[in-house]
Chains A and B, each alone.
Chain A
Amino acid sequence: MLEGTTAEIRERKALRINPAKTCQPIGAMYAALGIHKCMPHSHGSQGCCAYHRSHLTRHHKEPIVATTSSFTEGASVFGGLANLKTALENIFTIYEPDIVSVHTTCLSEVIGDDIPMIIKKSEESGIIPEGKLVIHANTPSFVGSHVTGFSAQCAAFVDYLAESTGAKKNVINLFPGWVEPADMREIKRLAEMLGVEYIMAPDTSDVLDSALEGEYQMYPDGGTTIPQLKAMGDSMATLALGPMASTLAADKLKKKCGVENKVLELPIGIGGTDAFVNAMRIAGDVTVPRELEKERGRLVDMVSDMSQYLHRKKVAIFGDPDHVTAMVKFLVEVGMEPAIVVTGTKGKKWVAKIKEICSEVNPDVEVAAFSDIHYLHQWIKGNPVDLLMGNTYGKYVAKSEKLPFVRFGFPILDRVGHRAFPLIGYTGGMRLIEKITDAFFDKRDREDADEDIELVL
């Protein structure tokens, strides 16, 4: 397994090996699927769309529907106007979405297709039926990562749809960030427990975890509705979860409609969830219900029960910046020691933030942004750890270094629980403790000598 990897680190300036990120459009596609009756449309050659659909499908084990402009060489030279117009006519006639959300690829970005102009021309020529919408986000693959694409798509919802009627409503906007459908469901459950009225966008729950009942719905029941997206402009405040994924949309909404916002880390772990609950409490002017306090207490109880197995355990972790930040906070909180922290996305400030979070438990933490899993592996070889956390691609490293491995982030291609159970909130925290200790205990039970096996742990 990965027998070409050695501990000797050669600094690479041009070669990416085993990336810890992918490109923008897949994030935009995921976000667009969180809108009710929305067809994501990839304006580029069709390979991108096939790859993005396949990968999202592998992660969610669900249908991922999206269309493409299917560029040919001719269109790549002379522009993709005709392709997009034909596509829109076909999409509205055959698949009847309420809204088409166009994103771009490196191809259409390099040739400089002017999407708003094409949308306008399509409107003028009557291709877009009455009452139907086409919006767009520019998602050049050579900038940022898939999280950038997600962020751009969220911002596009605001740009095209959010309206301020002047009448403020007692509603909180929630941008959940790029989290699982199960996490979005959990965020809504928390908001409902708190008794806060909210609009969450995007919302992929009930879209990417739909029921099997013998009938296929191209547009499942879930997803934020267009009226809800419009109404976001009238809300009292916005909570943006995950700075990289959600800040852009929140700021645009503030600028466009004057909705004040607060940006929070993803509500993972005790402190992370506390911050979210508290922000909701203040913004919604509500009291935290006893039931939620008990949930919190149950998580604290579990952490205390398992403390002996977690304390000072060294962790290597990689993934998207927002996920990793929140998870590293949780690790520190439960007494673990982040040792190697990597993201594929650029971010100097992020590096400083991680160092700050780890300063108390491990000032020497190895942190790198715009880095990759090959570096992470080499650092592990030079500085062994007790646990690896990351997406499915980490399993090759875990196998080659015989490490307990906890899957989290995007994508998880080889397990199923991530779409059913949240990692967010106090209940998600409990699930994380379970996953981490399970990984430790499984390794121990498998590898310990017979005389060392314990019945009770």
Chain B
Amino acid sequence: MGSGPSAEETREQMLEIYPKKTRRKRAKQMLVNKTPETPEAIGANSRTVPGIITQRGCSYAGCKGVVIGPIYDILHITHGPIGCGWYSWLSRRNMSKIRHPEETNYLQYSMSTDMQEDHIVFGGEKQLKQAIQEAYDEFKPKAISVYATCPVGLIGDDIHSVCREMKEKLGINIFGFSCEGYKGVSQSAGHHIANNGVFKNMIGLDDTPVEAKYKINVLGEYNIGGDAWEIDRILRLCGIHIIGTLSGGVSYDEICNCHQADLNVVMCHRSINYMAEMMETKFGMPWFKVNFIGIEGTKKSLRKIAQYFDEKELTDRVEEVIAMEMADVRPVIEDVRQRTEGKKAALFVGGSRAHHYQDLFSDMGMTTIAAGYEFAHRDDYEGRDVLPSIKIDADSRNIEELHIEADPERFNLRKTKERKVALEESGFEFSDYEGMMRQMAKDTLVIDDISAHELEKLIELHKPDVIGSGIKDKYVIEKMGIPCKQLHSYDYGGPYAGFKGAINFFKEIDRMISTKVWKLTRAPWKDDSEEQSAAAAEPATVS
């Protein structure tokens, strides 16, 4: 952990202040990564301790805000009082643009049933039905999705039957998500609910064949700051065609058609691994984990995709693209590293980036001394090999698990069993994710669902040079004189994925670490040294 107390001592000091019960619970969620190759079991995906100042959000945010909300040409209607729809209106930077003149981008619109007291008392189904009708009349969209919020489940509105009725009446696809905010323990429940809904209501609706040699989907990529466009740019250069990106910058039709791909690659494991599994079972499409964040990660991911398709033409092209792109990246890294080498970072981000971004920091010669997720599960920390040993607790038991079977007509094994085994024997990993802890250095701190207190303590004891976190932490951290890079919103910059994204990120971290503002935090008269007084006494030069 560099200077300051050891990871173990730091952990102890963080736990010290807690009441007994809280201490016991938090202790399970805070680990010293003693044996990275065989990570210890972490207490992840358990309920939040009330009053602790968590970073976490809710199931609605995970479902509407994260997974489905980015699909730009369907109308998203929030069924609830006004807040949920309002706060999830353009606040995540899942960018989108219309690509055909007849399309409409609905993401600039926030739609809600704006429930009032009488809807709570007498039920809101009539209001929802009417709202769907009005949305249809106003915009004539291809599809409409409906999201439940906290009160909906409690008052017993059946959004699914309303959707079915309106679907029949209007002749467009209309479907609902029971993503009430209290479900599960975090955004994560919402991801699962969203995956189920997308799988049931969109995937496979359009069997139009796609003419392309290498067809893939990128799952769990939400195009924050244009990340998906950069990934698309690189893959296009390589000759690889993306049918659907779930779900950044994606259209309804692309999702309905994306079972035509021959491979799913997964960026954000947490939010979309359900979909990858279900698509493999139903359509026979394999998946593996990639990471287009960081230079090494991007190269490795491209090569892995080429290896999967196993055609010399593609393998060669991938190497050409890498060489071409690296010509731009190399001088930037060399320049930036002069100022970033040896600096320390700490990362506390959602369910995926706390891992991915360690690659970008390591490209710059920086080390990650502590990291954690808000809402990831044990497999994201420890790797998917622990899946069989994960027990689903009472708080998450009510999240539906779909039972999927092979599609009698459309199941198509993209790789024969023999070919898959041969690939695996050469070190290729399908359906796997090694988790964050294996990649982290020995004796670093891993903290799940970090509290405001723990974060403050970490900064006090270790003074990292930069912290990657979110908007709620950013200004807390910066008041302490430490730059905070928002790794959800990218501080309104980006992209950070791929080669161009890496260049953006390197320059940005260089700016944050080098900017003079942190040296201005203390007024000069607070340190009344002789040197200072002498400097102050000197007259300004007149030239």
Contact = CB atoms under 8 A, between A and B. Distances in A.
Interface of A: 1-4, 10, 12-19, 21-23, 25-26, 41, 44-48, 50-55, 57-58, 61-76, 83-84, 86-91, 93-95, 105-107, 110-111, 140-143, 145, 210, 212-218, 344, 374, 393, 396
A46 B57 contact: yes
B51 A90 contact: yes
B18 A72 contact: no
B18 A94 contact: yes
Interface in B481-505: 481
Given A18-B110, A45-B58, A50-B56, A142 B81 contact: yes
Given A18-B109, A26-B83, A95-B453, A4 B139 contact: yes
B326 interface: no
**10 A-B pairs closest in CB distance:** A47-B58, A87-B51, A23-B83, A14-B130, A90-B51, A87-B50, A51-B87, A16-B114, A141-B81, A107-B150
Given A14-B128, A50-B56, A110-B155, A215 B109 contact: no
Nearest to A413: B91
B111 interface: yes
Contacts of A2: 108-109
Contacts of B112: 15-16, 19
Given A65-B452, A212-B478, A140 B395 contact: no
B119 to A, nearest CB: 7
Contact of B182 (A26, A61, A63, A71): A71
B274 to A, nearest CB: 19
Among B113, B116, B138, B184, max chain A CB count under 10 A is at: B138
A73 B183 contact: yes
Interface string B78-104: 001111111111010000001000001
Contacts of B479: 63, 210, 212-217
Contacts of A44: 150, 181
B56 A46 contact: yes
A152 to B, nearest CB: 14
A106 B109 contact: no
Contacts of A344: 82
A431 to B, nearest CB: 24
A15 B114 CA distance: 7
B253 to A, nearest CB: 18
7 contacts: A2-B108, A17-B110, A17-B111, A89-B19, A107-B150, A142-B120, A216-B477
B50 A21 contact: no
Interface of B: 17-19, 21-22, 47-61, 77, 80-89, 91, 98, 104-106, 108-117, 119-120, 126-131, 133-135, 137-139, 149-151, 153-155, 180-185, 394-395, 398, 451-453, 456, 470-472, 474-481, 521-523
Interface hub of A50, A83, A396 (most chain B Cβ within 10 A): A50
B181 A45 contact: yes
B49 A142 contact: no
Given A22-B87, A65-B452, A216 B53 contact: no
B114 to A, nearest CB: 4
A17 B472 contact: no
B484 to A, nearest CB: 11
B120 A76 contact: no
Contact of B61 (A21, A47, A52, A90): A47
Contacts of A393: 89
Contacts of A70: 47-50, 54, 56
A455 to B, nearest CB: 32
B471 A69 contact: no
A62 B475 contact: yes
A74 B395 contact: yes
Contacts of B105: 3
Nearest to A91: B51
Contacts of A89: 19, 51
Contact of B111 (A16, A22, A64, A83): A16
B471 A58 contact: yes
Contact of A86 (B50, B81, B88, B128): B50
A58 B4 CA distance: 33
A15 B83 contact: no
Nearest to B130: A14
Taking each of B18, B53, B110, which has the highest tally of chain A beta carbons within 10 Å of its own beta carbon?
Answer: B53
A95 B85 CA distance: 31
A457 to B, nearest CB: 32
Given A48-B58, A73-B184, A216-B476, 13 more contacts: A10-B134, A15-B134, A18-B109, A21-B86, A44-B150, A50-B57, A51-B83, A52-B87, A70-B47, A86-B50, A93-B22, A106-B81, A142-B115
Contact of B108 (A1, A48, A61, A218): A1
Nearest to A89: B19
Contacts of B127: 14
A212 B519 CA distance: 11
B109 A143 contact: no
Contacts of A142: 81, 115-117, 119-120, 151
A47 B86 CA distance: 13
A21 B112 CA distance: 12
Contact of B54 (A17, A25, A68, A83): A68
Contact of A23 (B60, B86, B108, B471): B86
Contact of A50 (B21, B55, B113): B55
A63 B469 CA distance: 13
A75 B51 contact: no
A217 B456 CA distance: 11
Contacts of B151: 106-107, 110, 142
A53 B472 contact: yes
B19 A17 contact: no
A50 B472 contact: yes
A4 to B, nearest CB: 5
